[in-house]
Structure 1
Amino acid sequence: MKRILCIVLWVLGMAMAVQAEPIALKRGVNVHEWLNWSPVTSGGSYVWPPYRSYNAWLSDGRPLTDWPAGDQFVRIKAMGFDFVRLTIDPGPLLANTGARRQQALDILEAAVRRITAADLKVVFNLHLVSQVPAYSESIIAGGAGSAGVTLYRGMVVDVANMLVDVGVDKVALEPFNEPAYYPCDATGSSDWQTIMATTVANIRAVSTQLTVIATGACGGSITGLTDLDPSFDDANLLYSFHMYEPHSFTHQRPEAPATFYSGLPWPVGGSTPADWIYWAQVNMSAAGLSATEQQMNLDEANPRITEYFSQDWGLSQLVTRVQEATYWAAMNNIPNRRLFMGEFGAILMPPDYHMGTYEADRSNYVRAVRVLAENFGINWSIWEYSSPTGMSVIQPIGPAVPDADLLTALGL
């Protein structure tokens, strides 16, 4: 009788696992500047204890007094977001084991609990950066059987255990960000397939209920996703892609500080390269550049400008591109609600006009991508909450007030 009861309980448990779903995510915002740049000593090692404090994050680039009173995550919740994609530098975790790794994990756990206390879910994204070369993207670049990937996967297991303690109803684990496995076809993704599948298996050995977000190769793009074989799929998996297309529009940045690359329209519509040249010259003149300097900038930008206008980017291209992800999902019996657009956005032009896009074009693009994702039932998170680079929900200069135009474009 006991044997029969055990079998019944096991079957019920398996049924519950099959019926499980990822945590509910709908509209999110990336918080990148807080824990993704753990301070480094002059000798190139991590300052210990690692990671910046909450106040150090807020006071980086503006006085702390420019921020309104109250907790920022309560503020994020009030804006209408329901989750935060929290990007984490895994370097301090990779560089240490034992008690020191646990100390770093305790700091990160406290940060996650601060966010969940504001009634926000957390996507915990391990986000390799280049501050300490030994623990940069190169650590996972050696292939599935490399020592770096083995070390990384062991670190992910420790992170998964920490997040389970926080609560599988509150957090999701995204173990990789924009993996640089190229080219963007099967020759670049075959090794990544093994890395992603084995990492998911490692996490599942910790918890079958923790929401895990998988990503394809090719910089985490839609192409990387559609090259992925989701044979490791389970009901608590989401699948990520980032939407920065066309990149020549979303990331309008000059090659050097004294040069200009800004003002491309979206959608292209009836605009022409001549229109762009006129306004570029107006902006460069306002910035005090000589006629010779202006011509040098125009010559440098010309190939990118010509290509952009020839592609005639607009809504139809966005629809076609996102449909590649939804077709892939349908072919693999994955509902759209398990697709995750983890990053999107465009650089806003600063007062000196040297990079980025005009407000109207930025809003047009963000609104179009957001509405498209929502129409397909895809979860999204905007890049990012507070940044000096012009992709920011909070105005990058002066008092830390929200960008009202961006919030409107996000439907918030």
Structure 2
Amino acid sequence: MRMILRAMLLTLLLAGAAAAAPLPLASGVNLHEWLNWSPLAEDGSYRWPPYRSVAEWQAGGRPASDWPATDPFADLRALGFDYVRLTVDPGPLLASAGARRAEALAVLAEAVDRLLAADLKVVFNLHSVSQVPQNGPDVINAPAGSPQVAGYIAMVAEVAQMLTPLGTDRVAIEPYNEPAHYPCDASGSEDWQEIMAATVAAIRAVSADITIVATGACGGSVTGLTDIRPDFDDPDILYSFHMYEPHSFTHQRADSEGDFASGLPWPASAGSAELTVEMLKAHMLAAGLNEAEQARNLAAVGRAIETYFAEDWGEAQLTARIGEAVAWARANGIPPTRLFMGEFGAILMSADGRMGAFNADRLRYLSAARQAAEANGIAWAIWEYANPYGMSVLAPSGPAVPDREMLRALGL
């Protein structure tokens, strides 16, 4: 009888191990403007209770009357996305404790519930921002074992406690966004390795099966991911990287306010440095810049233009870069389907031509990045649902209608 019981127990354990898998995700969208930059009081502290209401978020980028009188999250689901990467400012949580922190967590639980009610899964991403410096990115970029990092990890465990009852079949936790911890080479420290391992352990002490999205350092890039040793791996962990490469294409904007930096084509072979310069001159002339101002602006951006075309960025390089993450996963016995492209996107050219890519080039880039991820079974999340800054699924201004060409580029 004892041997039979042992066999039954072993069978159950093996079945449980076989069933272990992360939250299934496919086509997602970042929702960033709602719960980041929690409103501040006049003295610079967080308004309490913290975070914006849905109405405040909707009125932040355009008049509230530009939104349809429907549930924005149901509308989002109807576009074909199956999950939201919900970015959340951890600042109010770091600035509170006890009952006050519980109050903030309750606000966030209600927000997640609203998304779940719209049939959207949620990747809950703690996304540090710099508006209150003592609770900003410097906290997660502090050394391993420091009081700042220890306090952050303890807060993450409380977030996991809040999320777990909402359903580990519907929610995942991503405790960091784009940590720095440079340099990204052999001269770097072990700090990020230690921090990520300690964070996974703290979450697992709360929940054995909630999906954790782990990230590398170096801005959450492919390089940061491939620097990780996944000693802490388990079947319910996804591994994140962000794809904004080449940055010179995806984030075309000048270092000096008011200058022009736009119009690089995708792929690079679709244009030339000379054509890009001529296009910039036309935009600057239309804006009324004199010859001296144009010459100064072109001198400031000229090297970046030359470098972009010299590197000849295109689909092959993009696919190869994502392939580095795939090769890392396979080398560590991790299925590539447990990779997670948590952000990708490109700025659309502004009306005055000061920044961004032409729409046709942007759409080609988005399609190439999305298809390279999908070819390896990698879930992705586009940046971002609704903002006025040129990287938005909804029109950046005016009526809050979806960009149908962008959706087609995303296969939706």
Q: Give the TM-score taking structure 1 as reference length.
A: 0.97
Q: Find the counterpart in structure 2 of residue 158 from structure 1.
A: 158
Q: Partner amino acid for 1:316?
A: A
Per-residue CA deviation, residues 154-175 of structure 1 (Å, 9 max, x unaligned), is 0000000010011101100000
Aligned to 1:130: 130
Q: Distance in 2 between matches of 1:80 and 1:321?
A: 27
Q: How big is the shift at 1:287?
A: 1.7
Q: CA deviation at 1:286?
A: 1.6
How many angstroms apart in 1 are the aligned matches of 2:6 and 2:187? 46
- 2:254: which partner in 1? 254
- 1:225-374 maps to which residues of 2 (within 5 A)? 225-374=225-374
Counterpart for residue 407 of structure 2: 407
CA distance in 1, matches of 2:253, 2:322: 25
Rounded Cα–Cα distance in structure 1 between residues aligned with 2:179 and 2:4: 47
Where do residues 164-243 of structure 1 align in structure 2 (5 Å cutoff)? Answer: 164-188=164-188, 190-243=190-243
Q: Deviations along 1:355-398, whole A, 9 cap, x unmatched?
A: 01100100010000001111111100000000111000011111
Taking the aligned partners of 1:402 and 1:99, their CA distance within structure 2 comes to 40
TM-score, normalization by structure 2: 0.97
- State how far apart, in whole Å, the 1-side matches of 2:188 and 2:243 are: 20
Q: 1:214 to 1:286 in 2, by over 3 A?
A: same
Shift of 1:305: 1.0
CA contact (8 A) 2:73 2:115 kept: yes
Point out the more displaced range, 11-20 or 275-284. 11-20
Name the SS for the 1:33 alignment partner: strand
1:334 is paired with a residue whose SS is coil
Q: How far apart are residue 189 of structure 1 and its match?
A: 5.5
* Aligned equivalents of 1:156, 1:107: Cα separation in 2: 16
Partner of 1:117 in structure 2? 117
> Separation in 1 of the partners of 2:226 and 2:382?
22
Report the number of matched residues.
412
By how many angstroms is 1:107 displaced?
0.3
Q: Secondary structure at the match of 2:173?
A: strand
Gaps of 5+ in 1: none
Range that drifts further, 141-150 or 283-292: 283-292
**Which of structure 1's runs of 4+ aligned residues deviate more than 4 A?**
1-11
- Paired AA for residue 120 in structure 1: L
**Equivalent position of 1:61 in the other structure:** 61
Letter in 2 for 1:65: S
Which residue does 1:76 correspond to in 2?
76
- Cα RMSD between the aligned structures? 1.6
Contact 1:36 1:88 in 2 (8 A): yes
Unmatched 5+ residue regions in structure 2?
A: none
Query: What is the alpha-carbon distance in structure 2 between the residues aligned to residue 270 and residue 23 of structure 1?
Result: 39
Counterpart-to-counterpart distance in 2, 1:88 and 1:75: 21
Q: What's the CA shift for 1:141?
A: 2.1
CA 1:3–1:174: 2 relative to 1, 3 Å: farther
Q: Does the Cα contact within 8 Å between 2:61 and 2:387 map onto a contact in 1?
A: no
Contact 1:87 1:126 in 2 (8 A): yes
1:15 deviation in Å? 4.2
Q: Which amino acid aligns with 1:350?
A: S
Q: Deviations over 1:87-117 (max 9, x none)?
A: 0000000111100000000000000000010
Matches of 1:2 and 1:314 in 2, distance apart?
63
